[in-house]
Chains A and B, each alone.
Chain A
Amino acid sequence: MFEELLEDIAQKNGLREVNTHIKLAAGLGAILLCLLSSSYIPPLFIAIVLTGAILSLARVDAKTYGALFIVPLWFAILSVAGIILITGGPDPFWKWDILPWFSLSITRESINQGVFVFCRVLGGMSAMLFISLTTPMTDIFTVFREFRIPNTVIDLMMIIYRTIFILMDQVVQVYHSQVMRLGYSTWRESLHSFASLCGAAFIASWDAGEDLIRAMDARCYDGKFALLGESRPIERMPCITLGIFLLLSAAVVIVAGTTTIL
């Protein structure tokens, strides 16, 4: 059911030791440039570079990366198809008047628009995956604290983060025990099983909450959560790489201007 979590990949990736700020700057910078660009080329360029980085630098398994990419890719393909068919233009390549007041057409503008949106999705997706595959949540908490996000919020996030895995474990156990006793063999049965799975998860989380308070009390809880260990130093090589990547992408944005595919 849950073979490998994104978080587990992130904890083991090849860029784990690189300073968090650099990785976040690369990811967020890439997203920003994707949004600023008005041509399809820069997002495509960013997607290719970041995918390369994920596969070769972070050493994420290509199959895993592909599987992660494919789900949103389907959404993108479907919505881009919609955009291409609905967006109008002066000289259509193909036109179909379904109803008097509604027609589907493929035009130069619509194809340009569709390709542009699709490439933006690719760029944004790879940037998001770059962040989530190279930066574990635990490191992001540190950055949150540096950016003065209220401690209460961060503490809550950390407790939730920790609890998710405990709850997940329990849910998996219950799920397996249901599957082993043919809990999902029929439609009716699966409805029933799923409901009791949710119930069990709720009770488990309630229990875990009470235990959490007890565990914190037993260790002199005084409203303070431990500060996080220091983050890694900013090294020269990653910094230069980041600079080159952002400058190059920005240059591509400027040079590409408003180039369209057709």
Chain B
Amino acid sequence: MSSIILEARDVHYRYPRGMEAICGISFHIRKGEKIALVGPNGAGKSTLLKMFNGMIRPDSGLMLFDNQPIGYDTASLRMLRKRVGFVLQNPDRQIIAPTVYQDVAFGPTNLGYSEPKVKEVVSKVLRHVGLEGFERRPPHQLSGGEKKRVAIAGVLSMDPDVLVLDEPTSGLDPSGSEDIMELLDELNQEGKTIIISTHNVELAYPWADRAMLMLGGTILEEDIPEVAFGNPEYVRRAHLSLPTLLELHGELQKRGFNLEGKKPRTVLDMMQCIETIVRNTRSPVQPGTITICNVDKANQEDVSGWVSLHPKVSVGAMGTRAKQHAENCRIKLDFTYGVIDKCILKTLLGEDTLIMTTESMVKRVTQRVDAYCQESGIRIMVNHLGTVPEPAKEGEEGMP
């Protein structure tokens, strides 16, 4: 298990002339975890988040970062804020500069990077969040989702270890929310610890490694999402709703179906539950294959060629860059969010699928498919599109 990066020990905080916002909270967060703080309005989520980068100093108790107590002098706060990036709920309040480039460059410039370095960092980060070519646009002309991306890019440009986001999906449309969650997944895959606060149970439930249910300045429950959201009493007290899948699972169990294994996190898990129930009554289908296309390596002709050779294949793209790539190749996308699970579902119907994604997410796809195969005992073939042309090239060189 990885080391602890953030820790709170019996933290209390009272707003000036107000009620106690945080009443004795203790927890720890490990490196590389995805944490969701869930709770009703006024539960103290935002207050707690602001303690992570020292914007609020607890009245009593101790906040630790990397096993060191947080110092509240200017120099220590600067160091802390470089390593713990904070994205405010309202991107309008976070975006300071008159152009996207300047805003993303704000952090690196203040950290004293040289100009070429700043430029390099900014273009890398904008590429990462899928905002290439937006450098000179003024923020007030962007859509809500784009503004959110700029806000995240502005924090990412300082290359923090921990990313704290207050309500990252508020005010976004469903597909915009999925995009942001996907981006967070991608960042997590690169080793960043991610902490979000949200009301959206359906979004947090499949995403988080651990969920903290907060109510009235205390932590009601802190566990893996299946457990944290699995207690209807706590969920009701925290003014939340039970995730649909958990509810469905519970209802099936109540009706006497014997559901083994862990509780479902995704539609795929749920399908597996149901399939185990009906397995005996149906003849098994030979599963299809999943082909992964790494858009950072593959060139457009190869991909378009492959797709035109396999017209029946369903195509999914993960991440904005992959989606842009698909658009450039004129590939019609069947799935734009929840791609891996949807593709596995397709293969279970005996159809073939193609997943377009970025370098950093390729491993995640294979991991997810492997995990599913292990759990279900079904074998699904995974091919890599990007690697197919390479041996062919070697072959050409090898026969002069």
Contact = CB atoms under 8 A, between A and B. Distances in A.
Interface in B30-74: 53, 55
B110 interface: yes
A223 B106 CA distance: 10
A141 B98 contact: yes
Nearest to B79: A220
Given A11-B138, A217-B81, A219-B155, A229 B55 contact: no
Contacts of A224: 109-110, 112
A158 B102 contact: yes
A7 B138 contact: yes
A222 B112 contact: yes
Nearest to A139: B136
B135 interface: yes
B135 A229 contact: yes
A227 interface: yes
A61 interface: no
B95 A162 contact: yes
B55 A214 contact: yes
B140 interface: yes
Contacts of A227: 105, 109, 115, 118
B92 interface: yes
B95 A226 contact: no
A218 B55 CA distance: 7
B98 A162 contact: yes
Contacts of A165: 138-140
A225 B112 CA distance: 11
A63 to B, nearest CB: 21
Given A219-B154, A220-B107, A226-B109, A138 B55 contact: no
A161 interface: yes
Nearest to B103: A226
A220 B111 contact: yes
A218 B53 contact: yes
Interface string B147-188: 000000011001000000000000000000000000000000
Interface string A157-191: 01101100110010000000000000000000000
B137 interface: yes
B262 interface: no
A162 B96 contact: yes
B98 A220 contact: no
B86 A226 contact: no
Contacts of B200: none
A69 to B, nearest CB: 25
B304 interface: no
Contacts of B93: 166, 208, 211-212, 215
A208 B95 CA distance: 11
B110 A222 contact: yes
A229 B137 CA distance: 12
A119 B141 CA distance: 36
Interface residues of A, number: 33
A8 interface: yes
Contacts of A221: 106, 110
Interface-central residue, B101, B138, B158, by most chain A CB under 10 Å = B138
A112 to B, nearest CB: 45
B339 interface: no
A173 to B, nearest CB: 12
B125 interface: no
Contact of B101 (A11, A219, A229): A229
A226 B136 CA distance: 13
B326 to A, nearest CB: 27
Interface in A188-224: 208, 211-212, 214-224
A48 interface: no
B371 interface: no
Nearest to A158: B98
Interface string B243-268: 00000000000000000000000000
Contacts of B77: 217
A220 B111 CA distance: 7
Contacts of A7: 138
B99 interface: yes
A161 B97 CA distance: 9
B127 interface: no
Contact of B136 (A158, A218, A229): A229
Nearest to A137: B98
Contacts of A159: 96
B375 to A, nearest CB: 41
A227 B101 CA distance: 9
Contacts of A229: 99, 101-102, 119, 135-136
A251 interface: no
Interface of B: 53, 55, 77-78, 81-82, 86, 88, 90, 92-99, 101-103, 105-112, 115, 118-119, 135-141, 154-155, 158
Given A222-B112, A227-B118, 12 more contacts: A11-B137, A11-B141, A137-B98, A158-B98, A166-B93, A217-B77, A219-B154, A220-B81, A224-B112, A225-B97, A225-B102, A228-B101
21 contacts: A137-B98, A138-B136, A141-B98, A162-B96, A162-B97, A165-B138, A165-B139, A166-B140, A208-B93, A215-B96, A216-B96, A217-B81, A218-B53, A219-B81, A220-B82, A222-B110, A227-B105, A227-B115, A228-B101, A229-B119, A229-B136
Interface of A: 7-8, 11, 136-138, 141, 158-159, 161-162, 165-166, 169, 208, 211-212, 214-229
